[in-house]
Amino acid sequence: MPGPKHQSFRHGIHPPEHKEDTAHLAIKQFPFAPLLIIPFSQHIGREAVPVVKAHDEVIRGQLLAKADGFMSVPIHAPASGVIKNIGLVPSIQGTMVNGLYLESYPASTQEILEGNPCPLDAGKEEIIAAIQNAGIAGLGGAAFPTHVKLKIPEGTHVDTVLINGIECEPYLTTDHRVMLEQTGDIFTGIRYLLKATGAERAVIGVEANKPDAALMLKDNAPNDLAVSVEVLNIKYPQGAEKMLIKTLLNREVPTGAHSVEIGVIGINVATAAEIGRLLPHGRGIQERVITVGGNAVNHKGNYRVPIGTPLRFILDTVGVQGTLSEVFLGGPMMGQAAPGLDIPVTKGTSGVIAYSRDKNAPPQKIYPCIHCGRCVQACPMLLNPSQLGLLAKKNQYEKMADEFNLKDCFECGACSFVCPSHIPLVQYFRIAKSQLKKAQAA
């Protein structure tokens, strides 16, 4: 297979990949937890509205909560069982949010309830509605409602659907395995996506550390489908949509704009696979593939995990060694550290990465900025993370946004990774953005 031929984006880094532990491991079905924790908001936008009540019996795949308007997606039962309670449930943000507790039936066959199939020759609006009804939000981690992204503004033309199979985050190999094992679902999903957007072609981007996945896609691409597979040099954060568009298409998304404005729709490869897997059967999403890894995990692997599975059950099932110190939902670069082990897997969870450390080791010390410029050299958005960090410590959040383009930061973590003073720059930037949102709301 020919090697990479595309010119990459500027800056970026090359962190250790840590993919060798799970890249070769086939996807396995994860067992059903006795109690599933299901937030009504697992996506950007309005939370879903429950249509069930406490003590109701439900079937796997049944609608639990309906979408509250266009900027929302429904929630489906990840298992057959009984609703124990509807109220507040823990979230990755460390707060309690609206949701429900579902007690799964241990003796159930867990067959999936099917609805109305969406044919491949359906119209644009029918496909977009079917994707919303399936409850699909971006599985790459952003959890943006996919049907909203596919609703092209009037007067705008999209020529390319960009399928993101980069998966540059360390440890994660879920997209890698999906490309190998759900190749047919991906191409079916692309057919729906091309029809929904009116785009002329699809391009699948894969990094060079997944040659088997790239070859599998190339060898199985249907002759009647306008799709190509492009292999790219390895660099983090190439999986970020703006970076991938620049690398593959040599187009730049302007500040404050969306990719649709330059004729591109970006879709994660696992999201495309779920569209191809669910729509022909009229099913709702009730599980997703995640990578479970990190030095604390005994049985690392790629698992199809029911949505709502608590972290505690996952770690108990795979086994943990040493003193557990950190657990990330997603990868260690852009993922979020879990505030507790009762946090559930949601639609946007691409991985569970658990670390153990010597309990006697001293905590990592943060030193003052030495103005070395490494963060500036690493930032793919050509920002000045050092200056942003100094302003953040002084709570000068508006200046960060107005004069130093804080909103262009997509929190890839490259600056924190290279900082010799161990300054948690990304955490500072997240706090700054949060404070700016609160100020705007007030």
Across the chain, what does the average pLDDT equal?
95
Contact by Cβ (8 Å): 290, 305: yes
Of the options 1.10.3720.10, 3.40.50.1860, 1.10.1060.10, 3.20.20.110, the CATH number for the domain spanning 374-441: 1.10.1060.10
Distance between CA atoms of residues 180 and 5, nearest Å: 22
* Predicted local distance difference test score (pLDDT) of residue 27: 98
**Predicted pLDDT at 395:** 95
Q: Give the separation between CA 336 and CA 169, rounded to whole angstroms.
A: 13
**Cβ–Cβ contacts within 10 Å for residue 220, how many?**
12
- pLDDT of the residue at 249: 94
Q: How confident is the model at residue 38 (pLDDT cuts 50, 70, 90)?
A: very high
Cα-based torsion angle of the residue sequence 314, 317, 321, 323 in order, rounded to the nearest 10 degrees: 40
> Per the structure block, which two tokens stand in for 133?
């009804």
- Give 165's pLDDT tier (boundaries 50, 70, 90): very high
Instruction: Kindly indicate the confidence band of residue 359, based on its pLDDT and cuts at 50, 70 and 90.
Output: low
**Measured between alpha carbons, how far is 109 from 78 in angstroms, rounded to an integer?**
13
Structural tokens at position 147: 């049907």
pLDDT of res. 357:
82
pLDDT mean over 59-83: 97
Q: Burial, 169: exposed, middle or buried (Cβ in 10 Å; 0-12, 13-18, 19+)? A: buried
* Domain range 124-281, CATH architecture: 3-Layer(aba) Sandwich (3.40)
Q: What is the mean pLDDT of residues 214-231?
A: 98
pLDDT tens per residue, range 413-437: 999 999 999 999 999 999 999 999 9
Q: Can you give the residue ranges of every domain in the chain?
A: 124-281, 374-441
Q: How confident is the model over 42-56, as pLDDT tens digits?
A: 999 999 999 999 999
**What pLDDT, on a 0 to 100 scale, did the predictor assign at position 361?**
66
Mean pLDDT within 375-385: 96
